[in-house]
Amino acid sequence: MKHIIEVNGIKCYAHHGCLPEETAIGGHYLVNIEMHTNFAIAAHEDDLTKTIDYVVVNRIVVEEMATPSKLIEHVGQRIVNRLKKELKTVEKIRVKVVKISPPINGDVDNVAIIIEE
């Protein structure tokens, strides 16, 4: 059986970027998390302790996004590492970090990185 939990559209204001202005001013980000796990017991017993708590996922993302990085690739990997470390039932994970309106000398809605492990 395949079980997937998603926590999508985690909104963060953070200070990531290579340019000094980016780290000083900050910008808007969205983070999407997909985790493969087995929540059959939780579904049967209606027990939060037998599955992944969305509150914990959100807390980890917010905490990691609060630590400035030059690259969203770096912060994305930190998020993956923390989720895997703290949520022992995660079998597979996908993290997408989206930087809204990046300063890349063009009219671009966003840039994003995706990490799958």
Task: Give me the CATH number covering residue 7.
Answer: 3.30.1130.10
Report CA dihedral (98, 101, 104, 107) to the nearest 10 degrees: 120
DSSP 66: T
Domain span including residue 101: 3-116
How many folded domains does the chain comprise? 1
DSSP 50: G
CB 5 within 8 A of CB 37: yes
User: pLDDT by residue (tens digit) across 32-41?
Assistant: 999 999 999 9
Give the per-residue pLDDT at 21. 84
Q: Enter the pTM of the model.
A: 0.94
Which strands, in side-by-side order, build the sheet including 3-14?
Answer: 3-14, 27-37, 92-100, 110-116
- Three-class DSSP category at 112: strand
